Each structure stands twice: as structure tokens, then as C-alpha cells.
Amino acid sequence: MHTWYVHGLEWTRKELFVYPNEYIYWSIQIVMYPLMTGLVAGAFVLSSLYHVFGQKDLKDMAKFALVFSFALLLGAPIPLMLHLQHPLRGFFIFFTPHFTSAISAFGIVYMTYALIVAFEIWFVYRVFFVQQVHALEKKEGMGAFLKRLMYRVFTLGAYDLSEKAVAKDKKVIKILAGVGVPVAAFLHGYAGFIFGSVKANALWMTPLMPVIFIMSAVVSGVALCMLTYIVIMEWKKFRAVKARSTTPGMARYEQLKGAEADLIRKTSRYLIFFMIFAFSLELLDLIFRGYTAVKNWDILRSVIYQRDYVDIFVKQYLIGNIIPFLLLIWPRLTVRRAAFATALVLFGVYMMRYNVVIGGQSFSLTFAGFMDYVMPVIPHNMETFKEGLLGALTVAILPFIFFYFINKVIPAVPQSGGEKA
């Protein structure tokens, strides 16, 4: 006989009457997946607010958010791959998509969206690519040669920087940013549909699920963009201050001012707006379930109000929603307070995903038993790595690493000294 293991056995604790085959089959990676796609969608919507709706106050943030969205996009399929029992067969979704399945759309929606973001980035950075090619022309050495070659490839042969051509670029950006918003909403709304359409799961099955997912996606995306922006700008400030202490006269004013409180305040308004939406929808769902109280309400009530009470009401609603909301609407928002609040918002969205994915599996199909997910912290095999703390951290960190490298090639962090695109 071969060696065997039962998927889910290691991190599932059963209580009372549970069917023998029931385990927490969808664990932390499936918590990470909607979190990541949500961040993708949210970051993109933030950048589109500038491009489509002409919210000029978001100009600096828009470029950063767009490129960051792309980095997150590259990271989004990783939790799915890590979750599959046969990751090498993952591409079957592209070859034999079975269209009655919500998951089968992943390939199409994901690729469409990736293309839109890639194209938009190209149009935004085309002028920059051409400038780089010309600037590197005079430089000697292998490094400069390779770099110039890379930028030459990136231009795709479009060197026309005439006013007319650039104006056309801007128009295309506007269209792509506009089309991208519904596609981003679709990408994430459909992630919500994956859960909302599972009729066997009493907690997941609600038509509100896709809408709730979209709203919380925008919330998380905007919050992450704000937080990352603040951290990067403050880091630059820190470095500039340090450099000045060793070599006087190096730093300029722009480097020293750090994140702009004004920009943060303006962005936070959009964040508050979407937070209200997300919170209201979730509350509506809860009230509706309690009021209609169908057959499954007994077990749902004991999960929501007893077993998962701390996860849902303390961690998600209080720490992740109400406290950051108050911090953000309190007058005279400072950068530091905004950073703290957005970190809490991100935690709240993570808890929301956790409470949906794990919470939905924390009661048995018998409606007479419970299951707990005990996250593997120290892995002792591939399964406990993938479906445990380290797997989740890997997925969370990768987009930042992607962004670090992408940013080297196409600078997305607002530069000191008036770099314009």
C-alpha cells in the first residue's frame, strides 16, 4: 500500500456530529486568494478614479496604484496554485474550461484583466520608455546596453513623442481605465460568486456575496495603496534625513517632507465612502438572516454569536471597521493616524475573508456539529507549509517583492525632483 494522508485531517478539529468526510478543505490559501484579488481590484479602481473621473487630487497615487495593482495581479494566482492538490494541472482550467463552474472563468477574467492593466501601464509609461532609450544612448558599458535594449523592446517600436501621439495615449489610457473598472469589479465580484453560489453552504449562499466582495475589495485596495504609499514616502524621508546628517546639502525639500497629509486626507475620503457601503451590506446580510431565520439559522446563529463571536464582532467589525472608521473621520487626520487606521482596515478585510471562508466551514453539513481550523504554524511537510502560516505569509509578501523589481524598471513611486509622466 502507498503512503497516504487525508487532506484536512491535520488542521481540522471536529466536534459533535460531523459527517466522516467533512474537513476544512478550503483553508488559509482560500482566505488569501480573495484578499489578493480584492487588493488588485481595489488598487485599480483607485487609479481609475484619477484617469476616468478626473479626480486630480489622486494623480500621484494613481500611477503608484496602477503599477502596484499589476504586482498584486502577478501574485493573485499563487494562493490558488498552492491550494490545488495537483498544482501542475492548474493550467487545465485554460484548456478545458467547464463553463458551468464559477472557477472556470478565472482564466478568462484574469487574462482579460491582466492585459488591460498591462496595456494601461504601457500607455502611461510609453513616453518614459522612449526617454530612457534616448538617455541611455550615450552611456557606455554592458549594463547600459542591456538596459537600453530592454527599454527599446518595451517601446514596441513606438517612438513618436509628438503632441498628437501623446494626446492619443492619454485618450487610450482613459478608455482602458474605464473598461478596467467593470472588469476589476467582475474579477472580484466573480470571486464572491464562487462562494455565494455554493448552495450546500448555508453561510456562503447569498446573492449579496459578490457585491459585498466588490465593496470590501475596493476598501482593501485603497487602504493598502495608502499604507504602502505612506510607508515608502516615510522611508525615503528617513533615508534622506540620514544622508543629510552624513553629507550635508544632499537632501531636497521634496525628499524631506515624506507622505503628503493632503493627499492622504483626500484618498481617505474615498476609503470612508466604500467602507460605509461594505459595512452596510454585511450588516444587511446579517439582519436578513436573523429576521428570516430559515432552517439553517440555528446553526448559523451559534457560529456567528457564539463560536466565532470574537473573530466576527471584535476582530472584524470593531477593530477592522468601527475603530479605523472613527480614526479616519476624526478631524485633522495626520499621516501617522491614517497609517494606523489603514493597517486596521486591512486587518478587518483579512478577518472578513477569514470569517467567510473558514467560518463557512466551521459548521457541519449535518447542522449538528462543528469544525475548527487550527492553523499549522510550524510545518512538517508540504501540506502543512502550504495550508499554514508560512504559506499565507509567502503569498502576502510576494507582491511586494514583485513590486520592488517592477519599480526598478518602471518607477511608480513618486520621485523627488519633479519626475513627470
Partner 1 sequence: MNRRKFLKIIGGMAAGAGAIGTFRFLAPGEAEALIKSSNIRWAFLVDTYKCVGCGMCVKACKLENGIPYDAPVTRTWVERYVILKDGDVLADTPKGARDGFTSPVTEGRQVNPADIDKAFFVPKLCNQCDKPPCVQVCPVGATYRTAQGIVLVDRTWCIGCGYCIMACPYGVRFFHPVYHTAEKCTFCYHRINHGMTTACVQACPFDARKIGNLKDPNDPVTKVIMTERVAVLKDEYGTKPQVYYIGLDRNVR
Instruction: Give yes or no for a contact between 64 and 412, defined as CB atoms under 8 angstroms apart.
Output: yes
DSSP, residue by residue, 265-282: HHHHHHHHHHHHHHHHHH
Residue 108 binds partner 1 (CB under 8 A): no
Residue 114 binds partner 1 (CB under 8 A): no
Largest Cα–Cα distance in the chain?
Answer: 75
Cα gap 352→315, rounded to integer Å: 9
Q: Name the helix (H) or strand (E) containing 14.
A: strand 12-16
Between residues 35 and 341, which has the closer beta carbon with respect to partner 1? 35
Candidate segments 95-103, 221-229, 248-256, 277-285, binder of partner 1 by CB under 8 A: 95-103
Q: Which residue has the cell 515624506?
A: 258
Instruction: Give yes or no for a contact between 238 and 208, defined as CB atoms under 8 angstroms apart.
Output: no
Minimum CB separation of residue 368 from partner 1 in Å reads: 6
Minimum CB separation of residue 98 from partner 1 in Å reads: 4
Between residues 85 and 306, which has the closer beta carbon with respect to partner 1? 85
Residues 75 to 94 in contact with partner 1, rule: CB under 8 A? 80, 83-86, 89-90, 92-93
Between residues 27 and 268, which has the closer beta carbon with respect to partner 1? 27
Residue 166 binds partner 1 (CB under 8 A): no
Three-state DSSP state, 262? helix
Between residues 221 and 360, which has the closer beta carbon with respect to partner 1? 360
CA distances from 150 to 143, 156, 409 (A): 11, 10, 9
What angle is formed at CA 420 by the lines to CA 46 and CA 65, rounded to 5 degrees? 20
Residues 215 to 234 in contact with partner 1, rule: CB under 8 A? none
Minimum CB separation of residue 195 from partner 1 in Å reads: 9
Between residues 299 and 352, which has the closer beta carbon with respect to partner 1? 299
Cα gap 143→239, rounded to integer Å: 26
User: Smallest Cα–Cα separation from 397: which of 114, 72, 38?
Assistant: 72
Residue 154 binds partner 1 (CB under 8 A): no
Of the candidates 45, 52, 218, 251, which one interacts with partner 1 according to CB under 8 A? 52
Of the candidates 1, 142, 167, 377, which one interacts with partner 1 according to CB under 8 A? 1
Residue 207 binds partner 1 (CB under 8 A): no
Minimum CB separation of residue 176 from partner 1 in Å reads: 11
Minimum CB separation of residue 2 from partner 1 in Å reads: 5
Query: What DSSP designation does 52 have?
Result: T
Residue 292 binds partner 1 (CB under 8 A): no
Minimum CB separation of residue 395 from partner 1 in Å reads: 16
Residues 20 to 39 in contact with partner 1, rule: CB under 8 A? 20-23, 25-26
DSSP, residue by residue, 157-225: T-----HHHHHHHHHHHHHHHHHHHHHHHHHHHHHHHHHHT-TT-TTT--TTHHHHHHHHHHHHHHHHH
Residue 200 binds partner 1 (CB under 8 A): yes
Q: Is 214 exposed, middle or buried (CB count within 10 Å of its CB: 0-12, 13-18, 19+)?
A: buried
Query: What DSSP designation does 346 have?
Result: H
Residue 112 binds partner 1 (CB under 8 A): no
Which backbone phi and psi does 13 adopt, to 5 degrees? -110, 125
Residue 7 binds partner 1 (CB under 8 A): yes
Contact map string, positions 240 to 259, toward partner 1, x by CB under 8 A: --------------------
Report the interface residues with partner 1, using CB under 8 A. Answer: 1-2, 4-9, 16-17, 19-23, 25-26, 52, 80, 83-86, 89-90, 92-93, 95-104, 106, 174-175, 178-179, 182, 194, 197-201, 295, 364-368
